[in-house]
Amino acid sequence: MSRTVGVGLLFLAALVACTHFKQSPPPAAEPTTRSAPDLPASSETPRAPPSVESPPTGSPAAESPAAGPPSAESPPSPAPTGSAAKPAQPKTAGSAKPKTPRVTGAPAAGSPAGGSSKPLPAEQRAAPAGAEPATPAAAQAATTQPVAKPPALDLAGLERRLKDTHAIGLFTKLSLKNQVDDLLGAFRAFHGGQSQPPLAELRQRYDLLLLKVLTLLQDGDPPLASAISASREAIWGLLADRDKFQKIQVS
Protein backbone atom coordinates (compact mmCIF):
# COMPACT_ATOMS: atom_id res chain seq x y z
CA MET A 1 0.00 0.00 0.00
CA SER A 2 2.79 2.34 0.86
CA ARG A 3 4.24 1.81 -2.56
CA THR A 4 1.02 2.66 -4.27
CA VAL A 5 0.65 5.70 -2.07
CA GLY A 6 4.20 6.74 -2.87
CA VAL A 7 3.70 6.25 -6.54
CA GLY A 8 0.44 8.13 -6.32
CA LEU A 9 2.13 10.98 -4.57
CA LEU A 10 4.87 11.07 -7.13
CA PHE A 11 2.31 11.07 -9.92
CA LEU A 12 0.40 13.82 -8.22
CA ALA A 13 3.56 15.81 -7.76
CA ALA A 14 4.39 15.36 -11.43
CA LEU A 15 0.93 16.49 -12.41
CA VAL A 16 1.19 19.57 -10.26
CA ALA A 17 4.58 20.33 -11.66
CA CYS A 18 3.29 19.94 -15.16
CA THR A 19 0.30 22.12 -14.56
CA HIS A 20 2.48 24.69 -12.90
CA PHE A 21 4.89 24.57 -15.80
CA LYS A 22 2.07 24.98 -18.27
CA GLN A 23 0.59 27.86 -16.41
CA SER A 24 3.82 29.68 -15.95
CA PRO A 25 4.36 30.61 -19.60
CA PRO A 26 0.85 31.96 -20.13
CA PRO A 27 1.26 34.38 -17.32
CA ALA A 28 4.43 35.49 -19.01
CA ALA A 29 2.58 35.87 -22.28
CA GLU A 30 -0.39 37.50 -20.74
CA PRO A 31 1.58 40.21 -19.08
CA THR A 32 3.15 41.06 -22.39
CA THR A 33 -0.21 41.44 -24.02
CA ARG A 34 -1.41 43.33 -21.09
CA SER A 35 1.69 45.42 -20.93
CA ALA A 36 1.37 46.42 -24.54
CA PRO A 37 -1.84 48.24 -24.10
CA ASP A 38 -0.66 49.56 -20.85
CA LEU A 39 2.53 51.19 -21.77
CA PRO A 40 6.18 50.37 -21.60
CA ALA A 41 6.57 46.64 -21.75
CA SER A 42 8.66 45.08 -24.44
CA SER A 43 8.88 46.73 -27.81
CA GLU A 44 9.09 43.44 -29.67
CA THR A 45 5.98 41.58 -28.61
CA PRO A 46 3.58 44.46 -28.94
CA ARG A 47 4.11 44.58 -32.68
CA ALA A 48 1.12 42.38 -33.18
CA PRO A 49 -1.10 44.17 -30.73
CA PRO A 50 -0.36 47.61 -32.06
CA SER A 51 -2.31 46.86 -35.17
CA VAL A 52 -5.18 46.01 -32.94
CA GLU A 53 -4.77 49.08 -30.90
CA SER A 54 -4.03 51.46 -33.70
CA PRO A 55 -7.60 52.21 -34.69
CA PRO A 56 -8.53 53.42 -31.30
CA THR A 57 -5.47 55.59 -31.14
CA GLY A 58 -6.06 56.69 -34.68
CA SER A 59 -9.65 57.51 -34.14
CA PRO A 60 -8.98 59.65 -31.15
CA ALA A 61 -6.19 61.34 -33.00
CA ALA A 62 -8.49 61.93 -35.90
CA GLU A 63 -11.19 62.93 -33.58
CA SER A 64 -9.03 65.37 -31.79
CA PRO A 65 -8.35 67.43 -34.90
CA ALA A 66 -11.90 66.90 -35.97
CA ALA A 67 -13.04 68.01 -32.59
CA GLY A 68 -11.23 71.23 -33.13
CA PRO A 69 -13.28 74.06 -34.47
CA PRO A 70 -11.60 74.30 -37.87
CA SER A 71 -12.31 70.65 -38.57
CA ALA A 72 -14.34 71.58 -41.62
CA GLU A 73 -11.30 72.13 -43.81
CA SER A 74 -12.09 69.15 -45.94
CA PRO A 75 -9.52 68.94 -48.74
CA PRO A 76 -6.46 69.41 -46.63
CA SER A 77 -7.91 67.08 -44.05
CA PRO A 78 -5.44 64.26 -44.68
CA ALA A 79 -2.50 66.52 -44.14
CA PRO A 80 -3.79 68.04 -40.94
CA THR A 81 -4.72 64.65 -39.62
CA GLY A 82 -1.27 63.42 -40.39
CA SER A 83 0.27 66.39 -38.76
CA ALA A 84 -2.04 66.01 -35.86
CA ALA A 85 -1.25 62.36 -35.65
CA LYS A 86 2.46 62.97 -35.44
CA PRO A 87 2.07 65.16 -32.47
CA ALA A 88 -0.06 62.42 -31.05
CA GLN A 89 3.00 60.21 -30.94
CA PRO A 90 4.75 62.20 -28.31
CA LYS A 91 1.62 62.01 -26.25
CA THR A 92 1.93 58.28 -26.10
CA ALA A 93 5.64 58.49 -26.25
CA GLY A 94 5.93 55.85 -23.64
CA SER A 95 4.92 53.14 -26.06
CA ALA A 96 7.12 54.75 -28.68
CA LYS A 97 8.05 52.49 -31.57
CA PRO A 98 4.92 50.44 -32.01
CA LYS A 99 2.78 53.51 -32.01
CA THR A 100 4.67 55.37 -34.66
CA PRO A 101 3.42 53.03 -37.33
CA ARG A 102 0.00 53.29 -35.85
CA VAL A 103 0.04 56.96 -36.35
CA THR A 104 1.25 56.66 -39.90
CA GLY A 105 -1.54 54.26 -40.61
CA ALA A 106 -4.06 56.24 -38.67
CA PRO A 107 -4.13 59.35 -40.76
CA ALA A 108 -4.55 57.42 -43.97
CA ALA A 109 -7.11 55.06 -42.58
CA GLY A 110 -8.24 57.98 -41.02
CA SER A 111 -11.32 58.97 -39.38
CA PRO A 112 -13.75 57.46 -41.88
CA ALA A 113 -12.56 53.89 -41.62
CA GLY A 114 -12.91 54.18 -37.95
CA GLY A 115 -12.09 51.58 -35.40
CA SER A 116 -14.43 48.98 -36.79
CA SER A 117 -11.88 47.53 -39.21
CA LYS A 118 -8.81 46.98 -37.19
CA PRO A 119 -6.69 45.23 -39.84
CA LEU A 120 -7.06 48.19 -42.18
CA PRO A 121 -4.45 50.31 -40.52
CA ALA A 122 -1.95 47.49 -40.76
CA GLU A 123 -2.65 47.18 -44.50
CA GLN A 124 -2.48 50.86 -44.93
CA ARG A 125 0.86 50.97 -43.29
CA ALA A 126 2.20 48.76 -46.01
CA ALA A 127 0.01 50.29 -48.68
CA PRO A 128 1.34 53.80 -48.58
CA ALA A 129 4.87 52.55 -48.52
CA GLY A 130 4.26 50.29 -51.51
CA ALA A 131 1.94 52.64 -53.32
CA GLU A 132 4.26 55.58 -53.34
CA PRO A 133 7.04 53.80 -55.19
CA ALA A 134 4.51 52.04 -57.40
CA THR A 135 3.10 55.24 -58.79
CA PRO A 136 6.46 56.57 -59.89
CA ALA A 137 7.23 53.21 -61.44
CA ALA A 138 3.95 53.29 -63.32
CA ALA A 139 4.65 56.82 -64.35
CA GLN A 140 8.06 55.81 -65.60
CA ALA A 141 6.56 52.91 -67.51
CA ALA A 142 4.00 55.24 -69.00
CA THR A 143 6.71 57.59 -70.03
CA THR A 144 8.82 54.83 -71.53
CA GLN A 145 5.95 53.31 -73.50
CA PRO A 146 5.34 56.29 -75.71
CA VAL A 147 9.03 56.37 -76.38
CA ALA A 148 8.99 52.71 -77.34
CA LYS A 149 6.01 53.05 -79.68
CA PRO A 150 7.71 54.97 -82.47
CA PRO A 151 10.30 52.24 -83.03
CA ALA A 152 7.43 49.77 -83.06
CA LEU A 153 6.37 51.29 -86.35
CA ASP A 154 8.86 49.56 -88.58
CA LEU A 155 7.15 49.42 -91.93
CA ALA A 156 9.97 47.58 -93.62
CA GLY A 157 10.09 45.04 -90.84
CA LEU A 158 6.35 44.51 -90.91
CA GLU A 159 6.43 44.13 -94.68
CA ARG A 160 9.22 41.59 -94.45
CA ARG A 161 7.44 39.67 -91.75
CA LEU A 162 4.26 39.65 -93.80
CA LYS A 163 6.13 38.28 -96.78
CA ASP A 164 7.86 35.63 -94.71
CA THR A 165 4.93 34.45 -92.65
CA HIS A 166 3.49 31.05 -93.37
CA ALA A 167 0.15 31.97 -91.87
CA ILE A 168 -1.01 33.35 -95.20
CA GLY A 169 -0.90 31.44 -98.45
CA LEU A 170 0.60 32.75 -101.67
CA PHE A 171 -2.70 33.46 -103.37
CA THR A 172 -3.94 35.27 -100.33
CA LYS A 173 -0.76 37.31 -100.02
CA LEU A 174 -0.99 38.32 -103.63
CA SER A 175 -4.63 39.21 -103.24
CA LEU A 176 -3.84 41.27 -100.15
CA LYS A 177 -1.04 43.03 -101.98
CA ASN A 178 -3.48 43.94 -104.72
CA GLN A 179 -5.83 45.45 -102.22
CA VAL A 180 -3.03 47.32 -100.45
CA ASP A 181 -1.91 48.74 -103.78
CA ASP A 182 -5.48 49.79 -104.55
CA LEU A 183 -5.73 51.58 -101.23
CA LEU A 184 -2.39 53.27 -101.71
CA GLY A 185 -3.61 54.42 -105.10
CA ALA A 186 -6.68 55.89 -103.48
CA PHE A 187 -4.52 57.74 -100.96
CA ARG A 188 -2.29 58.96 -103.73
CA ALA A 189 -5.31 60.33 -105.51
CA PHE A 190 -6.58 61.88 -102.31
CA HIS A 191 -3.34 63.69 -101.60
CA GLY A 192 -2.84 64.59 -105.24
CA GLY A 193 -6.24 66.17 -105.38
CA GLN A 194 -7.18 64.25 -108.50
CA SER A 195 -10.28 62.80 -106.94
CA GLN A 196 -11.56 63.50 -103.52
CA PRO A 197 -12.79 60.42 -101.74
CA PRO A 198 -13.53 61.60 -98.26
CA LEU A 199 -10.93 60.73 -95.69
CA ALA A 200 -13.58 58.90 -93.71
CA GLU A 201 -14.12 56.55 -96.62
CA LEU A 202 -10.41 55.93 -96.89
CA ARG A 203 -10.31 55.24 -93.19
CA GLN A 204 -13.11 52.74 -93.61
CA ARG A 205 -11.27 50.96 -96.39
CA TYR A 206 -8.08 51.00 -94.35
CA ASP A 207 -9.82 49.53 -91.33
CA LEU A 208 -11.45 46.84 -93.44
CA LEU A 209 -8.19 45.85 -95.04
CA LEU A 210 -6.41 45.76 -91.73
CA LEU A 211 -9.23 43.66 -90.36
CA LYS A 212 -8.74 41.17 -93.16
CA VAL A 213 -5.02 40.97 -92.50
CA LEU A 214 -5.53 40.54 -88.79
CA THR A 215 -8.15 37.87 -89.38
CA LEU A 216 -5.74 35.94 -91.54
CA LEU A 217 -2.87 36.31 -89.09
CA GLN A 218 -4.49 35.96 -85.73
CA ASP A 219 -4.41 32.17 -85.72
CA GLY A 220 -1.28 31.45 -87.69
CA ASP A 221 1.01 34.27 -86.59
CA PRO A 222 -0.33 36.00 -83.47
CA PRO A 223 2.85 38.03 -82.81
CA LEU A 224 2.71 39.59 -86.24
CA ALA A 225 -1.00 40.21 -85.85
CA SER A 226 -0.44 41.98 -82.58
CA ALA A 227 2.44 43.98 -84.04
CA ILE A 228 0.30 45.15 -86.93
CA SER A 229 -2.59 45.86 -84.65
CA ALA A 230 -0.33 47.87 -82.36
CA SER A 231 0.91 50.02 -85.21
CA ARG A 232 -2.52 50.55 -86.71
CA GLU A 233 -2.84 54.19 -85.77
CA ALA A 234 0.77 54.94 -86.59
CA ILE A 235 0.33 53.57 -90.09
CA TRP A 236 -2.85 55.57 -90.49
CA GLY A 237 -0.94 58.63 -89.38
CA LEU A 238 1.53 58.06 -92.18
CA LEU A 239 -1.17 57.53 -94.75
CA ALA A 240 -3.35 60.45 -93.76
CA ASP A 241 -0.56 63.00 -93.61
CA ARG A 242 0.44 64.23 -97.04
CA ASP A 243 4.08 64.91 -96.27
CA LYS A 244 4.63 61.62 -94.50
CA PHE A 245 2.80 59.80 -97.26
CA GLN A 246 5.00 61.35 -99.90
CA LYS A 247 8.08 60.37 -97.95
CA ILE A 248 6.84 56.80 -97.91
CA GLN A 249 6.25 56.92 -101.65
CA VAL A 250 9.73 58.24 -102.24
CA SER A 251 11.36 55.65 -100.03
For the CB of residue 204, give the shortest distance to other proteins in the complex, in Å. Answer: 15
CA distances, 175 to each of 168, 171, 182, 198 (Å): 11, 6, 11, 25
CB-nearer residue toward other proteins: 120 or 168? 168
Give the integer Cα–Cα distance in Å for 149 and 159.
17
How many residues touch other proteins (CB under 8 A)? Answer: 12
Question: 157: closest CA among 102, 235, 100?
Answer: 235
For the CB of residue 169, give the shortest distance to other proteins in the complex, in Å. Answer: 2
Told to check if 212 binds other proteins by CB under 8 A, we report yes
Residue 72: DSSP 8-state: G
Alpha helices, DSSP H, located in the chain: 2-23, 25-38, 48-67, 78-91, 99-113, 119-152, 155-164, 170-192, 199-220, 222-230, 232-240, 242-250
For the CB of residue 226, give the shortest distance to other proteins in the complex, in Å. Answer: 20
- Residues 163-202 within binding reach of other proteins (CB under 8 A): 168-172, 174-176, 178-179
Binding mask 70-89 for other proteins (x = CB under 8 A): --------------------
CB-nearer residue toward other proteins: 106 or 168? 168
CB-nearer residue toward other proteins: 129 or 211? 211
For the CB of residue 215, give the shortest distance to other proteins in the complex, in Å. Answer: 9
For the CB of residue 239, give the shortest distance to other proteins in the complex, in Å. Answer: 20
CB-nearer residue toward other proteins: 21 or 171? 171
CB-nearer residue toward other proteins: 219 or 243? 219
Question: 79: closest CA among 91, 94, 62?
Answer: 62
CB-nearer residue toward other proteins: 148 or 170? 170
Question: 104: closest CA among 133, 132, 128, 80?
Answer: 128
Contact residue for other proteins among 216, 224, 228, 239 (CB under 8 A): 216
Output the DSSP codes for 200-251.
Answer: HHHHHHHHHHHHHHHHHHHHH-HHHHHHHHHTHHHHHHHHHSHHHHHHHHH-
Residue 42: DSSP 8-state: -
- Residues 40-59 within binding reach of other proteins (CB under 8 A): none
- Report whether 85 contacts 107 (CB < 8 A): yes
For the CB of residue 135, give the shortest distance to other proteins in the complex, in Å. Answer: 47
Q: Where does this chain bind other proteins (CB under 8 A)?
A: 168-172, 174-176, 178-179, 212, 216
